[in-house]
Amino acid sequence: MLESLSDRSKHIAIGAAVGVLFTLSTTAIVLASRGFDSHSKKNPSHTSGRNSRRRSSIGETISNFIHLPKAKAEQEQLICDGVAGLIGNTPMMRIKSLSDATGCQILAKAEFLNPGGSTKDRVALSMINTAEKQHILTPGNGSTIFEGTVGSTGISLAMMAKARGYNAWIVMPDDVALEKSQLLEKLGAHVEKVRPVSIVDKNQFVNLAKRRAQEFGKDDGAGPSDKTGFFADQFENLANFEAHFTTTGPEIYRQTRGNVDAIVMGAGTGGTLAGVAKYLKALLPDLRTYLVDPQGSGLFNKVKYNIMYSPTEKEGKRKRHQVDTVVEGVGINRLTRNFAMSEGFIDDAIRVTDQEAVDMARYLVNQEGLFIGSSSAVNCVGAVRIARELGPGHTIVTLLCDSGQRHLTKFWNDEYLAKQGLEVKDVVDNLDFIV
């Protein structure tokens, strides 16, 4: 039975090839009968030499069709090498509803289309590549990557750790969206949840990740080993900044052909904003760059007044342990090395409330079918604000950092938001919520 099926497949393939050859040959003969050849649009003399060249041309066409030869460089562009090859070169989209409402071109880089689902894929790849070049990490020897994160960087690191032959140990606050830790576990990472505390506490999630890396392998009783515990340190590791200076910034310039009036985005580690702003400002001196900051973060005042401070830091004002916002991924109350790289490259800052972010996310679902996460919503509110400030005819670029799929239990949880004093509307069909 199998043998007969195989024979039948061969007959079908041969028949198809013969059909193609017949079609190409017939087409060429018809063209020849009408006095056309591959060298001239005029009617040539029907000499044997011309007919010989014509038959040769037909043969070359058929040969090319059958073999479809591709240059090596072209093949390399068409086929990427593993998961790492999927990172970056994300599309740029025009957000129609926001653009039409403001008279500006509001463009968003769809970073949620990276394989790990966020812009942090770029950072994870850059930090691991740098560590390997410095011989800190060696694939396949049992080394473990440690990181303190609220989610996205950990997910990207866990993905790349598997791809490169490492283990991942992620320390995170226990109040982040549940699906983030679930995804990390499915990616094979060890997840350690801790109580959210200030950065000055030795058990703050970043500090604890660093200590776990330092302690790795010391007490396992296995004797000397080449395996290492690598603390990725996304907040201070300048491979973060380099990732965006060398990839995200150039991609934005290429995709917009340099036609950008303003860049608007939030900052957590600060690497994205710093890398993009520094790259583009060198090429576009008139470009305006804006930090967009959620409530509770001190970066707004740092940019505006050179003071790292948020009003929620007043005694008795803070409602949550970390930055006082429902937004995850952006906003911080300390100055990192990566954010410091943006000094002199940020022109202004704007504040976005939690209510504005929630309304923007619901608006984009209603108007665009675009399901975004909290930091992406903050970015889009900021883009509209700046579009209104600059006036019609300008081009504003922002990022869609991740999708709403990893924010279901918090930012997209109506019951949770109501407990935080926020109003959740069934439908948001205009931009009046942006003040």
Q: Which two tokens stand for residue 261?
A: 């009036």
Amino acid at 204: Q
Q: Is 319 a catalytic residue?
A: no
CB environment 391-416: b (16+ within 10 A), e (fewer): eeebbbbbbbbbbbebbeebbbbeee
Strand order in the sheet with 229-231: 190-194, 167-173, 144-148, 229-231
Amino acid at 169: W
- The C-alpha angle with vertex 418 and arms to 416 and 422, in degrees rounded to 5, equals 115
Among residues 114, 194, 192, the alpha carbon closest in space to that of 159 is found at: 114
Compute the radius of gyration of the chain from its Cα atoms: 28
The single residue listed with the structure tokens 């470009």 is 287
CB atoms within 10 A of CB 94: 12
- The C-alpha angle with vertex 235 and arms to 233 and 236, in degrees rounded to 5, equals 75
Question: For 140, left (φ over 0), alpha (ψ -120 to 50), or beta?
Answer: left
Q: Is the dihedral of CA 369, 373, 374, 377 positive or negative?
A: negative
Among residues 57, 114, 52, 112, the alpha carbon closest in space to that of 83 is found at: 114
Q: Is the dihedral of CA 302, 304, 309, 310 positive or negative?
A: negative
- The dihedral over CA atoms of 13, 15, 19, 22, expressed in degrees to the nearest 10, equals 120
Cβ contacts of 9 within 8 Å, gap of 6 or more: none
Grouping H, G, I as helix, E, B as strand and the rest as coil, residue 77 is helix
Q: Which two tokens stand for residue 377?
A: 């919503």
CB atoms within 10 A of CB 67: 8
- The C-alpha angle with vertex 161 and arms to 159 and 163, in degrees rounded to 5, equals 70
Polymer length in residues for the chain: 435
Q: Which two tokens stand for residue 323?
A: 């930055």
Q: Which of 42, 70, 96, 120 does the annotation list as catalytic? A: 120
CB environment 153-187: b (16+ within 10 A), e (fewer): bbbbbbbbbebbebbbbbbbbeebbeebbebbeeb
The secondary structure of residue 312, as a DSSP letter, is: G
Kindly list the catalytic residues. Answer: 120
